Amino acid sequence: MSEKQTKRKLHIGRFMIGAGSVRDQEHLIRKVFVQLQLIPVHVEMLWHEDALAYTALSPDFEAISEGDEVPTYDILFTKDIKNINLRVQKRKH
């Protein structure tokens, strides 16, 4: 493959959020999206898991080449009175 044909790298990942969290904690979910600079490219409601499955771009996700398998992440957070502390963790297969 020549340099001009090099595959582009994307900071893309998959993650899930419980539907109850989206319904009951909309303000918190919005803050998570802003803080992680998430740009959803696909969202699917998983009725059997009562969750929303997202595929999104974020600088906090590992860069992968176009066409590679998109990794799955857990978005872990703690909340205190003033702040939301986030950590993105890639799931191991």
- The residues spanned by each domain of the chain are 3-90
Range 41-60 burial, b when 16+ CB lie within 10 A, else e: eeeeeeeeeebbebebebee
Q: Is the pLDDT of residue 4 over 60?
A: no
> 0.75 exceeded by the pTM?
yes
Q: What is the pLDDT of residues 14-61, one digit of tens each?
A: 999 999 988 998 988 998 999 999 999 999 999 999 999 999 999 999
**SS3 category, 68:** coil
CB 11 within 8 A of CB 58: yes
Phi, psi of 91, rounded to the nearest 5 degrees: -75, 145
Predicted local confidence at residue 3, as pLDDT: 53
Where helices occur in the chain by DSSP H, the ranges are: 19-24, 26-35
